[in-house]
Structure 1
Amino acid sequence: MQLPIADYAPDLPPNNASGASGNIVNLFPRTKESWGPVGTLSTFNQSALTSQCLGALTAIDSGANNYLFCGDAGKLYEFAPGGTAFANVSKSGGYTVPLGEKWNFTQYGQRVIAAAFGQNLQSFVLNSSTAFADLPGSPPQARYITTIKDFVMVGNTFDGTNGEQPQRVQWCAIDDPTTWPASGSVTEAQLLAGSQIIPGDQGWIMGLVGNLGNADGAVFFERAIWRVVFQGSPTIFGFYPAEGVRGTPAPKSIVQLGALAYYLGEDGFYAFDGSQSIPLGVDRVDKTFWANVNMAYLYNVVGAVDPINRLVMWLYPSNSSSNGVCDSLLVFNWALNKWGFAQVNAEYIFRAITQGYSLDSLDSTGYTLDTLPFSLDSRVWAGGQILMGAFNPSHQLAYFTGTPANATADTVELEPFGSQGKRAYLSSVRPMIDGAAPTVQIGTRNRLIDAPSFSSSSAINANGECPVRADARYLRARIQTSGSFTHLQGVEIPEDSIHMSGRR
């Protein structure tokens, strides 16, 4: 008899029939039958940004070399291939990004372009530039930026002619992000550049994505999503409402994976395919998220994709975070359609691509073989490897490659002899885990209206069992781990460890 780990669905009542639980911490869905550990953040080196990371992008040049660009309130930084520290590559004088605003990046060919409120669009050409500079061509300032087909498009704009236009998008000349002709000019029409104000009560533009499954792009508003469709001359792009009542209050929650854009909507988490949104968190995590997130710091919510583990992640500050530093991580496994949760202290997460180091170049990192923060066979040192990166509260680059965080998980609840109206007496269980140092508690209750009462923790013995003593109608197990493992499945109840006890 087995008690598998329950699905993570804290929105459901504790007496649910689907076997879901709200008590799963520091575990990610790994397979349809098991859960995997969450690695703690391991700092790459002591190099740090000056203040909170407000955006990051991994860019790839024509030689397949990987660069990390990021920004804080006053500077833009580059971590070059084989580098050992962040280099300040800001334009002369730096920047002043207001509180609550972020940097957004896009790559077009060999050019990285950065946008933030109140700042001129910034440009850095890989293998050529030594610092960011204002993007040529007289583009507007903008909060958001993306690449759609052969165009760079910006949204929520400001320029000297139109002023602040939070519902306006503008795009460059075809295949030339350094040319932004004057609105209404003959040159604009000839080069397929243009702009569009999308009026309505949908609020401000909150983000842009390109190249979705059922549209060439999408404009996210506070209370709506509009499809972007390339039409050619004379209109160039058409804009059509796809979601009339749903948008996003958290711009950095929007994260794209192939043909889908995942995002935090007004009422929960969704995936948008270019025509419609698919709910992901209904009856599972939506209500719990909104009850726990610190609403004063919604602008710090940030999404990222871990394609290796098939996870979409959302880092957010809970109500326990008084200063807005994120301390919670929700994850969704799109292949398994399951959620997980972890406690992570970080200010930003992103999909990283490692830059690659040889044994010789490791010397330049400042580490010795004895002080390396990662093992020599870690993906961190191999170039071109995808893994999840983060910036910790000290503004340092880190990876989720540390020792597994201590985890807790409840199994489904079982009524072994309910058909006979009898309670069950349980004396031992076997944790179904391939490592760590598991302990088990048994939760018991005789009525569904009661909360489970848990026994004291029992450690695993030489026979692979955790001795327990429980006598009740309903039984569940709570497993806690400390150490490394690969798969956690639940507990197994040996046949000689459970029998009927008592009668109604």
Structure 2
Amino acid sequence: MALIGLAAFEPDVASVDSSVCEVATNVVPRKDGYGPFLSPVPISLALPAGCRGAVEVNSPGYGFPIYFAGTGTRLYRYNLGTSDWDDVSQPGRTYSVPPGDYWSFAVYGSRLLACTLGTPVQVIDIDIGKQFADLAGNPPRARHMGVVGEFVVLAGLAADPNAVDWSDLGNIEFWQPGVGGGHTSDLQIFPDGGAVTGFAGGEFGVVFQERAIRRMVFIPNSSEVFSFEVFEENRGAVAPWSIAKTGPRVFYLDRDGFYAFQGGVSVPIGAERVNRFFAARVDPNQVASVVAIRDVTGPRVLFAYRSRAADPSDPTLLDEILLYDWLLDRWTFVALPIRFGLVAATPAVSIDNIPGSLDDPGQKPLDDPSYAGGVPALGVITADGRLALLNGPALEAVMQTSEAMIFRPQRTFARGVRLSGDADDWRAVIGTREKPAVSEPVRWRPETRPNTQGFAPCRASGRYHRARIRIPAGVPWTYAAAIEPDAVREGNQ
């Protein structure tokens, strides 16, 4: 029989005689179907407390990746030699991250900046700094930060949540607003649009408010310094950390779903696809804690959130993820509990951690470039507080076809299915029902595995059929495109 494709994951749409499906778990979209979502491989010991933000930066002096992470009260730096976290907090200061918030980080030259509403802006030299310190110039406390050209911009200020503030041009230690005399630091208070809920830097800034999106453009030799143009009204970011910038696109979560902002306009990417699915699953009291993660290994962005089913005794755990591939314009679902996510890269290898002896046959020389690390990767802070890269064995994958009446209008007797994919080990189960009504649940048959001919026997009679494929965790595979049913027409009923 003809192949039945593993269709796009759009659980908001009825998957009956359609080109969509309602189950695509722990997979990534491919043009020909789906591929595996890889498991996290820890590279660090656990943080001393729950992670409230993390960032990977490149060492300006040595060229290898360096990791920093924050908890509710401290800042830490990953120690390559011990795989532990060194406390690099400012001596004598206890930080305070408000409940539901995270640290915001920005790199300016060789310095890493960190801010949160409950703490003065912190700064450390990436290569030689031993501990963070207050950024000079008395900048305001803020929820978000970013870099626009040679300016550091602070957004969502503690003193005025409807404002943004920026440093002097090329001097991030000068923050006196509107003093003139060649200084360009200043403050902008927005009279409408509500509180500033997020910020994305770059060649120009994008300011997200509760009900407006503005573009922030530097005007050289102007007394205004920056112009603020309203690109959209009644549109904004409901979750401050749901904002992820990748090239010209900025992804974010608004009150009614997921959007991509590009070229001055927001395009809905979740409407009639995953928005209702998300709204039904997310903890309604934790929507503002949604975290967007940019995937540098592909054209993808991940939205991690806390579900209604999450353990109430662990309030900072993000236990589910929606993954969006902006090139293919397709979604998937990932069941992976994490604390945070970040752009990452493979770390450098310490000479003390090289396995075996340097004299062993086949051992790489010390100048081998693989020891320097730097290979792009998707990183997470796991549920147990460890830094991990998503480059391990595949997670257990589950994919489902849409429900279909194969021999319309007659009944069908299914004898089995074959998977069009390259996994050597997989399982199949067939579900049937007589009519696509809420009053009639799907009847699932026992799960089976393929025989020597590659068919999984699944005997099932019904008017409507659907097939669910499960690839166990750790099984090597690269694609799953479709299923081939072995079915016959059943009588003239």
Task: Check whether TM > 0.5.
Answer: yes
Structure 2 distance, partners of 1:82, 1:384, is 17
Aligned partner of 1:433 in structure 2 is: 421
Describe the SS at the equivalent of 2:120.
coil
Letter matched to residue 414 of structure 1: A
Contact 1:39 1:405 in 2 (8 A): yes
1:443-482 alignment, distance < 5 Å:
443-449=431-437, 450-482=440-472
Structure 2 distance, partners of 1:186, 1:499, is 83
Gaps spanning 5+ residues in structure 1: where?
Answer: 159-163, 370-375
Letter matched to residue 61 of structure 1: S
Letter matched to residue 132 of structure 1: F
Structure 2 distance, partners of 1:499, 1:99, is 59
RMSD: 2.2
Matched, 1:393 2:392: no
Structure 1 distance, partners of 2:372, 2:393, is 19
Structure 2 distance, partners of 1:453, 1:35, is 25
Residues 256-281 of structure 1: CA deviation (Å, up to 9, x unaligned): 11111111111111111251111100
Matched, 1:37 2:42: no
Structure 1 distance, partners of 2:91, 2:230, is 41
Structure 1 distance, partners of 2:471, 2:206, is 43
Letter matched to residue 146 of structure 2: T
Paired residues in the alignment total: 472
Contact 1:415 1:475 in 2 (8 A): yes
Letter matched to residue 60 of structure 2: S
Aligned partner of 1:144 in structure 2 is: 144
Report deviation, 1:428.
2.5
Report deviation, 1:314.
0.8
Of 233, 249, 257 in structure 2, the residue corresponding to residue 260 of structure 1 is 249
Aligned partner of 2:361 in structure 1 is: none
1:75-474 alignment, distance < 5 Å:
75-79=74-78, 84-93=83-92, 94-158=94-158, 164-180=159-175, 182-187=176-181, 190-200=182-192, 202-211=193-202, 216-232=204-220, 233-273=222-262, 275-321=264-310, 322=312, 323-324=314-315, 325-357=317-349, 360-363=351-354, 383-418=373-408, 421-449=409-437, 450-474=440-464
Structure 2 distance, partners of 1:34, 1:368, is 41
Report deviation, 1:381.
6.4
With 70-79 and 80-89 compared, the bigger mean Cα shift is at: 80-89
With 80-89 and 240-249 compared, the bigger mean Cα shift is at: 80-89
Describe the SS at the equivalent of 2:38.
coil
Letter matched to residue 50 of structure 1: P
Describe the SS at the equivalent of 1:252.
helix
Report deviation, 1:283.
0.7
Describe the SS at the equivalent of 1:287.
helix
Letter matched to residue 3 of structure 1: I
Structure 1 distance, partners of 2:298, 2:332, is 12
TM-score (norm 2): 0.91
Gaps spanning 5+ residues in structure 2: where?
Answer: 358-363
Contact 2:124 2:132 in 1 (8 A): yes
Aligned partner of 2:58 in structure 1 is: 60
Describe the SS at the equivalent of 1:192.
coil
Describe the SS at the equivalent of 2:398.
strand
Letter matched to residue 406 of structure 1: E
With 203-212 and 310-319 compared, the bigger mean Cα shift is at: 203-212
Report deviation, 1:113.
0.6
Contact 2:218 2:226 in 1 (8 A): yes
Report deviation, 1:240.
1.9
Structure 1 residues 72 and 141: CA distance shift in structure 2, 3 A: same
Structure 2 distance, partners of 1:235, 1:492, is 65
Contact 2:240 2:289 in 1 (8 A): no
Describe the SS at the equivalent of 1:124.
strand
TM-score (norm 1): 0.89
Structure 2 distance, partners of 1:280, 1:347, is 25
Aligned partner of 1:373 in structure 2 is: none
Contact 2:178 2:185 in 1 (8 A): no
Structure 1 residues 447 and 98: CA distance shift in structure 2, 3 A: closer
Describe the SS at the equivalent of 1:347.
strand
Residues 378-429 of structure 1: CA deviation (Å, up to 9, x unaligned): x9966111111111222111222333222211113333322xx322222222
Contact 1:111 1:123 in 2 (8 A): yes
Letter matched to residue 430 of structure 2: I
Contact 1:66 1:81 in 2 (8 A): no
Residues 157-183 of structure 1: CA deviation (Å, up to 9, x unaligned): 24xxxxx11111111111121222x22
